[in-house]
Chains A and B, each alone.
Chain A
Amino acid sequence: MSKRIIHDHNHDGIDRRGFLECMAWAGTGALCMLSGGVLKSYALSDMREVTKALANADFSFVQISDSHIGFNKSANPDVSATLQAAIDKINALSTPPSFILHTGDITQLSKPEEFDTAAQLLKGLKTGQIFYVPGEHDVLDGTGKLYRERHAMNSMGDGWYSIDIKGVHFVGLVNVLNLKAGGLGYLGPEQLDWLEKDLKNVSSSTPIVVFAHIPLWSVYPDWGWGTDDSARALSYMRRFGSVTVLNGHIHQTMRKVEANITFHTALSTAFPQPAPGTPGASPGPITVPAGQLRSLLGITDVNFISGQQALAVTDSTLADMGSAMMHPMGSQQ
Chain B
Amino acid sequence: MKFFIQFLVLTLSVPLALVASGAGTAKPAPPTSEPPSYTINIKDFMFSPRNLTIPVGSKVTWTNKDEEPHKVAEVNSSFTSKPLDTDEGFTYEFKVPGKYEYFCTVHPRMTGTIIVEK
CA distance A137 to B85 in the complex (A): 11
Please indicate the chain A residues that have their CB under 8 angstroms from the CB of B68 in the complex.
Answer: 284-285
Q: Which of B45, B105, B108 has the most CB of A within 10 A?
A: B108
Determine whether the beta carbon of B109 is less than 8 Å from that of A224.
yes
Determine whether the beta carbon of A180 is less than 8 Å from that of B45.
no
**Of A43-51, A122-130, A181-189, A299-307, the one touching chain B:** A181-189
Determine whether the beta carbon of B85 is less than 8 Å from that of A283.
no
Whether, in the assembled complex, B44 has its beta carbon less than 8 Å from a beta carbon of chain A, the answer is yes
Interface residues of A in 265-322 (CB under 8 A from B): 282-285
Instruction: Given A75-B67, A137-B69, verify A283-B45 contact (CB < 8 Å).
Output: yes
Q: Which residue in chain B gives the minimum CB-CB distance to A181?
A: B103
Determine whether the beta carbon of A140 is less than 8 Å from that of B69.
yes
Whether, in the assembled complex, B96 has its beta carbon less than 8 Å from a beta carbon of chain A, the answer is no
For the complex, would chain A's binding face be called helix, strand, loop or mixed by DSSP majority?
A: loop
Count of B residues near A, CB < 8 Å? 22
Whether, in the assembled complex, A194 has its beta carbon less than 8 Å from a beta carbon of chain B, the answer is no
Determine whether the beta carbon of A179 is less than 8 Å from that of B108.
yes
Count of A residues near B, CB < 8 Å? 25
Whether, in the assembled complex, A193 has its beta carbon less than 8 Å from a beta carbon of chain B, the answer is no
* Interchain CB contact (< 8 A) of B109 among A73, A136, A142, A183: A183
Whether, in the assembled complex, A247 has its beta carbon less than 8 Å from a beta carbon of chain B, the answer is no
CA distance A150 to B108 in the complex (A): 26
Q: Which residue in chain B gives the minimum CB-CB distance to A108?
A: B69
Whether, in the assembled complex, A80 has its beta carbon less than 8 Å from a beta carbon of chain B, the answer is no
Write out, one digit per residue, whether chain B residues 62-93 have a CB within 8 A of any chain A CB (1) or not (0): 00001111010001000010010110000000
Determine whether the beta carbon of A182 is less than 8 Å from that of B108.
yes
Determine whether the beta carbon of B69 is less than 8 Å from that of A183.
no
Q: Which residue in chain A gives the minimum CB-CB distance to B107?
A: A224
Determine whether the beta carbon of A284 is less than 8 Å from that of B67.
yes
Whether, in the assembled complex, A110 has its beta carbon less than 8 Å from a beta carbon of chain B, the answer is yes
CA distance A180 to B66 in the complex (A): 21
Q: Which residue in chain A gives the minimum CB-CB distance to B80?
A: A142
CA distance A282 to B104 in the complex (A): 15
Determine whether the beta carbon of B69 is less than 8 Å from that of A179.
no
Determine whether the beta carbon of A182 is less than 8 Å from that of B69.
no
Q: Give the interface of A toward B (CB within 8 A).
A: 71, 73-75, 108-110, 136-137, 140, 142, 179-184, 221-224, 282-285
Q: Give the interface of B toward A (CB within 8 A).
A: 44-46, 66-69, 71, 75, 80, 83, 85-86, 101-103, 105-109, 111
11 A-B pairs within 8 Å (CB atoms) are namely A74-B67, A137-B69, A140-B83, A183-B108, A223-B45, A223-B109, A282-B66, A283-B107, A284-B67, A284-B68, A285-B67
